[in-house]
Chains A and B, each alone.
Chain A
Amino acid sequence: SQQGEEDPQALSIQEGENATMNCSYKTSINNLQWYRQNSGRGLVHLILIRSNEREKHSGRLRVTLDTSKKSSSLLITASRAADTASYFCATNSGYSTLTFGKGTMLLVSP
């Protein structure tokens, strides 16, 4: 079953704009992670935020976590065409497994 639900399902923006994706989940977590997938290939880990953290940055990525609302957001600033991909949030609840959402498809046009 899916734990996380990303919103929107699809997002289309121009290069240079910011992209924001949201994720909601249902149960308590140890951490939440965001992954990227290019066109049906393997997933690549982007960033991890622990349940006791509220915000984290990595390059052009900013992740926030609100455990009271069971939600997270991923912001990609100054998007590039190469950012075109599907983005998934995944929750870890204390074991070495992750539960993924259905993903957001991001299209960045030149």
Chain B
Amino acid sequence: ETGVTQSPTHLIKTRGQQVTLRCSSQSGHNTVSWYQQALGQGPQFIFQYYREEENGRGNFPPRFSGLQFPNYSSELNVNALELDDSALYLCASSLENPGTGELFFGEGSRLTVL
């Protein structure tokens, strides 16, 4: 148990819809990162938030956006869903920024886009 919780665990959407995924970071962790993991692939970095500001972004289009709240919890929003957005979305928190990069992952939200 890492103390990072994500919701929902599974969801199904149709193409063109919007989705919001939520993450509560481990107590005391001020940095949250989001990753997308397609089936059979390694996690791909989407973006990172540190003290409520975006602090790094991977190669994802602007329809992927996020928020971090004062309690360090976070949201990932994806607009205009596409079939290729079907994946496991992983949230991870870390204690320091910059730090060693050791991440504490939640169990993920599995998104299926039909």
Contacts and interface: CB of A to CB of B under 8 A. Distances in A.
Interface of A: 1-2, 4, 30-31, 33, 35, 40-45, 48, 88, 90, 92, 94-103
B33 A97 contact: yes
Contacts of B35: 100
B42 A97 contact: no
B90 A92 contact: no
A14 B103 CA distance: 31
Interface residues of B, number: 34
Contacts of A35: 105
Instruction: Pick the most buried of B4, B35, B92: most chain A CB atoms within 10 A of its CB.
Output: B92
Interface string B77-109: 000000000001010101011111111111110
B13 to A, nearest CB: 19
B88 A40 contact: yes
A99 B101 CA distance: 10
Nearest to A29: B101
Contacts of A41: 107-108
Interface of B: 2, 4, 31, 33, 35, 40-45, 48, 50, 55-56, 59, 88, 90, 92, 94, 96-108, 110
A97 B104 contact: no
A1 to B, nearest CB: 7
B105 A43 contact: yes
A95 to B, nearest CB: 5
A56 B105 CA distance: 23
B110 A40 contact: yes
Contacts of A88: 42-43
Contacts of B59: 1
Contacts of A101: 42
A26 to B, nearest CB: 14
A96 B31 contact: yes
Given A40-B88, A40-B110, A43-B90, A96 B41 contact: no
